Structures are given as structure tokens and as C-alpha cells.
Amino acid sequence: MLTLKSKYMPFVMWLFPLSFFTYQFILRLWPGLMMQQIMGQFSIDASHFGLLAAFYYYGYSSMQIPVAILLDRFSPRYVVCAFAVLCGLATLMFIYTNNFYIAVLSRFLIGAGSAVGFLGVSKVISEWFSTTHYARMLGYSFTVGLMGAIYGGKPVSILIETHSWQTVAITLAGISIAIGFATFFILRSPTATQSSIQENQFKLANFKALLSSPIIWCLACANLLMVGSLEGFADVWGIPYLMQAYNLNKSDAAGLVSLVFFGMLFGGPLLALCSKKFGNYPVITVCGLGMALAFSILLSNHAYNWLLLSCLLFAIGVMCCYQVIVFAAGADLVAPQNLGVTVAFLNCINVLGGSFFHTTIGKIMDLFWTGTLRGDGLKIYDLGTYKYALSIIPLCAVVGAAMICLLGVAVKRKHVSQM
């Protein structure tokens, strides 16, 4: 019995942070499913909606390093519980206010709470599984986590069509709080890890070497510019664009957008194999240019063709996994003791890309707005306006890919000069 318990206990412990990691994808995506309802509740235009969506990423990115510190100093049981409950309470705050600035604060807090998703899973895996299983379990975690994005969009959109969006949001808040309390009562840390806590603590002193590296900054900024297909389009603007472009209902548009996340399930292992054969920088560059090409075809396509759209969105999802290779490239550039802070820093800048794209897309939409209003006074944006705004995504991807290409050449020259 003890052997059986010790065999399955790590998987039971892994289940709780994994549940929140999966669930936070739904909290991240649902504003895109309720765009018109949210704009109506707060009487806002596209630029303000973009700002509202962007504050999720401000919260998420700003808490990456603090959450890493908290997870090293305290048990994941307390940290995951506190941040999951924070997400639920912030969602309730969003529902019960008509004040735009309070809504912005609530999205910031939801993003801050969601920051524990990936980091909490990583911490629990490092505590309960051997180092030989760490990478594999992290890969499984990404696969399961993306299921929240794949299967969360369409079911939630169907619920919104049959129930009020406030009722759906209350349910989402309740589930987040329930996951938090379940984690508090069940999740534990193995006693064997307590003696090594001080040795493995996240050290802010490592920032000095990191922030003085122009190569790391260049890698981070290129990553930010290439993230628009995922954090700009798939997270928020993709559903309203597809509804406008092809007269789709919300659930069908959400189903198509979920193919981006479905592609990411295959992209991770595929790009890892390619990077091993061709190198990190060539693979990232090809992904950036490929995303720009696929997205340009998506924007230029006029007739509804389900197969073409599915293939384009799936391909974009596969190439979105270039981010995994960015982390691998960053790991090769720093000393082993700086690895943790480097990954947290790259992820922080990466997520800021969501803020950049949401804010920029919203402002461009208002800039090209044709002046049409709904009966309730809200702005109506035509297809041309959407295309002008979303064109920033492939443009930035090309710039990011060019930066990566030049960075790869610089790193190669530096390596040769040191030989």
C-alpha cells in the first residue's frame, strides 16, 4: 500500500497546480468571447477594450519574478491557493462594476493571479519528480494546459449564447476559488525538499548579469514582436475578426481560433526536433517569417473556406511554439545559476507582447473607424478596419524574425572568436 501511495502521490500533487494552469487559459480568453457585451456594459470603444485586455498581460508579466520568489520561499500550497482565489475574486469585481477603471484593475489582478499557473506547475514537478522526468512532465503539463484554451473557447461561447455573460463569469469565478481551496487542503510539499530550499532560492542578484546583456535584451524584444499571432489574435481579436469577416456565429469562430492552440500541441515536439538538427536561431527565424506569411494569407482571404482557414490557423499554432526555442536559446547564453531568472525574464517580456498588441490594435481600429454607430451609441467596426489593425501582427513578426537572424549571426561569430 505504501509503495502504491508513493508511486501515485506525485501525480496527485501535480494535478492541483495543473488544474489551475489549464483553467487560467479560460480566464485569459473569455473577454474575446464577450467583446460586445463588455463594450456595452462599460460604453467603451475598441481602443479602451484593447486597453482592458492589455492589463491582464501587465499583471501577468509583472508578477512572474515575484511569484517565482514566493514559490521558493513558501509552499506552493499557499501560493497557488492565494493566487487562484485572487483570480476568482477579481473576476467577481469585474462583473459587479460599471466603472471602467475598476474593470481595468480587475483584469490586472486576474493576470497577476494567473502568473502562478505555469510557475506553480514547474515548482511542484521539481519537488515531486526526479530531474530525469522534469522535461517530460513539463511537456505533459503544456499539453494538458493547452486543452483549456482549445476546449474552453467554444463551450464558454455556447454558454454565453444561452445564459447571460454575468452568469457565466460568476461560474468561472466560483471554479477558480474552488480550485484554490482544493489546492490548499490537499497539496503538500515532500519533506525531502525542505533541506534544499535555501540552496535553490531565486536570487535577485542574478539580474545584474542578465540586464547587462544586450544579447538577452535583443532576444526578449524579438520574442515580444513575434508573439502577436498568439497573444494578439488568438487570445482576443481572432473571434470578433472571424465573425466580421465570414459572418460566423461566436461558437464557430471560437472553434476555428482554438485550432491555433491545437497546433501548439504538435509544435513543441516538432520544433524541438528541428532546433536540434538546424539550430535554435534558424528555426525561430523561419517560424517568424512563416507566421507572417500565413497571417497575411489569412487577412487577404475573402471567401469563407473552412479547410483553408483551419490549415492556416493550425500552421500558425505550430509556429507559435517558437517561444519554447527562445527559452532554450536564452538558456545557452547564461551561466547555469542564472537559468531560472533568465526564463522568468524572457517570459515576462514575452507576455508584455500581449499588452503591446492589444493596445496597438485597439488604437488602430479607432484610427480607421468609419464613423458608424449602433443604436445604443457603440462604435461599429467594418472588415477593413479590422484588417488595417491586425496587419501590425505580420509586420512585427517580420521585424522580430530579422532581429533573430542577426542575433544568430552575432552569437555564432562570438562563439567562433572564443574558440
**196 and 209 fall within a common domain:** no
Note whether residue 38 is domain-resident. Answer: yes
Q: Quick one: 54 and 190 in the same domain?
A: yes
Residue 175: what residue type?
A: I
Residue 1 has pLDDT above 50, yes or no: no
- Structural domain contains residue 190: yes
Q: Are 226 and 187 in a shared domain?
A: no
Task: Give yes or no: residues 209 and 196 share one domain.
Answer: no
* CATH number where 104 lies: 1.20.1250.20
Using the 3D structure, point to which of 185, 202, 219 is the last residue of a domain: 202
Is the per-residue pLDDT at 230 higher than 70? Answer: yes
In tens, the pLDDT along 262-277 reads: 888 888 778 878 887 8
Model confidence at 200: pLDDT above 80: no
In this prediction, what percent of the chain has a pLDDT beyond 70?
88
pLDDT of residue 48 exceeding 60: yes
- For residues 109 and 83, state if they share a domain: yes
Shared-domain flag, residues 233 and 269: yes
User: Closest by alpha carbon to 11, among 128, 169, 93?
Assistant: 128
36, pLDDT greater than 70: yes
Over residues 366-370, mean pLDDT: 82
Q: What pLDDT, on a 0 to 100 scale, did the predictor assign at position 4?
A: 45
Residues 263 and 304 in one domain: yes
Examine the pLDDT at 342 and tell me if it is beyond 60. Answer: yes
Domain that holds residue 139: 9-202
Tell me which of 173, 202, 231 is where a domain ends. 202
- Tell me the CA distances in angstroms from 332 to 178, 216, 358, one per residue in order: 40, 11, 31
**224, 175: one domain:** no
Give CA–CA dist 186/179, Å, rounded: 11
More confident site: 396 or 337: 396
Is residue 50 domain-shared with residue 182, that is, in the same domain?
A: yes
| Whether 182 and 212 share a structural domain | no
Question: Between these two residues, 324 and 234, which has the higher pLDDT value?
Answer: 234
Instruction: With respect to residue 383, please indicate whether it lies within any of the assigned structural domains.
Output: yes
2 in any annotated domain: no
The whole-model pTM stands at 0.74
Residue 291 confidence (pLDDT)? 95
Which of 160, 184, 202 is where one domain is finished? 202
Q: Are residues 386 and 407 in the same domain?
A: yes
Query: Does a structural domain hold residue 125?
Result: yes
**What distance in Å separates the CA atoms of residue 236 and residue 247, rounded to the nearest whole number?**
17
3-class secondary structure per residue, the chain: CHHHHHHHHHHHHHHHHHHHHHHHHHHHHHHHHCHHHHHHHHCCCHHHHHHHHHHHHHHHHHCHHHHHHHHHHCCHHHHHHHHHHHHHHHHHHHHCCCCHHHHHHHHHHHHHHHCHHHHHHHHHHHHHCCHHHHHHHHHHHHHHHHHHHHHHHHHHHHHHHHCCHHHHHHHHHHHHHHHHHHHHHHCCCCHHHHHHCCCCCCCHHHHHHHHCCHHHHHHHHHHHHHCHHHHHHHHHHHHHHHHHHHCCCHHHHHHHHHHHHHHHHHHHHHHHHHHHHHCHHHHHHHHHHHHHHHHHHHHHCCCCCHHHHHHHHHHHHHHHCHHHHHHHHHHHCCCHHHHHHHHHHHHHHHHHHHHHHHHHHHHHHHHCCCCCECCCCCECCCHHHHHHHHCHHHHHHHHHHHHHHHHHHHHHHHHHHHC
pLDDT tens sequence across 123-169: 888 788 776 676 567 667 777 877 777 766 667 777 777 887 788 88
Of 239 and 149, the one with more pLDDT: 239
What's the structural domain count of the chain?
2
State residue 139's pLDDT score.
66
Task: Specify whether 64 is located in the same domain as 89.
Answer: yes
